[in-house]
Amino acid sequence: MKPLPRMLAMVALLSMAACTAEGTPAPAPQAEPARAVSTPATRTAEAQAAGTAQKASQKKIKIGIADITPMGEKTEKVGVGFPIIVTFDRDLRTVKDKAAVEAVLQVEADKPVDGAWRWVSPRQVVYRTKTYWKPHQKVLFTARLSELPGNERAKDVSRRFAVGTANISLVDTRRHVMKVYRDGKLAKKIPISAGKGGMMRNGVDVYLTTSGVHLTMGKKAVETMTSSWLGVTDPKDPRYYKEEIPWAVRISASGEYVHQSAGYYHFLGRSNQSHGCVRATPEGAKWFYTIAQRGDVVKITGTKRKLDWRNGWSYWQLNWTQWKKGSALATTAR
């Protein structure tokens, strides 16, 4: 399996999974044009943010936005765990520059909850809430880039997100069941089969499903899954496989999915036999695929392999105190 872009080799190893799709390990979200802000928006950032940023940097910054993820309200609804991922068109190397930029990023929700930004690379910052978003609401993100010294000609941009139903799935790998809750009510129990374990790579059992809070990242009605992550590409090799898997919902960047089991139905609800994915019944997998929104919560328990927070959108693996430490504003305020 190819390593994740810009990710340390150690992280790639921790993230490795066998149930991987053909090609690149994670689908790159397509950029949606951000719209210009024609009227001033009410600021909802913490009161100290602007003051902190002014003290942090008077240096001129030339910067624009290359991508905002997820898509806007007219394109998709998102789950209650969704992050706002902002990618800039150039690196910000100093904490002061990051703090200045972070201070002009605002998030307004119809049903507010506490949230904070965390820098995950020199040009990418992620917004996560302290608790899950409230369902059935709109969230407005605004980047007031023109307020940065030297960046006055930049367009302020925004995107409005639509939060849909609160889909929260609990996967118990020991009892081989996935319980799906919708807006707090149990909607379905699905017999599953998780990773069987037994394939060690540098001390990591890559056949185990990772335990932790995953977020759905995308879905395909049919996904091609191969053994290329093992370095096995010769069809004559007994370890080789290339399968077309229905109803595949991605839950990590390393290749973990909830998907329809390719046969082996007698294991569902009874034992763990997959290469790391969560296999489900045909009816259950199709139903889950149908309701899945990017940013839905899938919490997996029962395995000894922990999900790394840098694997895809696994940001909920950090507690709130840990998450806030990644804010440049929090750093400059100390």
**Which of 176, 214, 259, 275 is an active site residue?**
259
DSSP letter at 316 equals G
Residue 102: closest CA among 86, 83, 82:
86
Does the active-site annotation cover 214?
A: no
Exposed / middle / buried, residue 223 (Cβ in 10 Å: 0-12, 13-18, 19+): buried
Chain mean position to CA 56: 30
Give the DSSP letter string of 2-54: PPPTT--HHHHHHH--SSPBSSSSSPPPPP-PPEEP-SPPPP-S-HHHHHHHH
Q: Which of 90, 91, 101, 134 is closest to 115 using CA atoms?
A: 134
Edge-to-edge strand list for the sheet holding 124-129: 65-69, 84-88, 124-129, 115-121
Phi, psi of 272 (to 5 degrees): -95, 120
3-state secondary structure 164-214: CCCEEEEEECCCCEEEEEECCEEEEEEEEECECCCCEECCEECCCCCEEEE
Query: Exactly one of 19, 176, 214, 277 is catalytic; which is it?
Result: 277
Pairwise CA distance, residues 187 & 167, whole Å:
9
Asked, as a colleague might, if the bond just before 70 is cis with ω within 30 of 0, I would say: yes
Structure tokens, 6: 């810009």
How many Å is the maximal CA-CA distance in the chain?
Answer: 65
* 19 a catalytic residue: no
Residues labelled as active-site residues: 259, 277
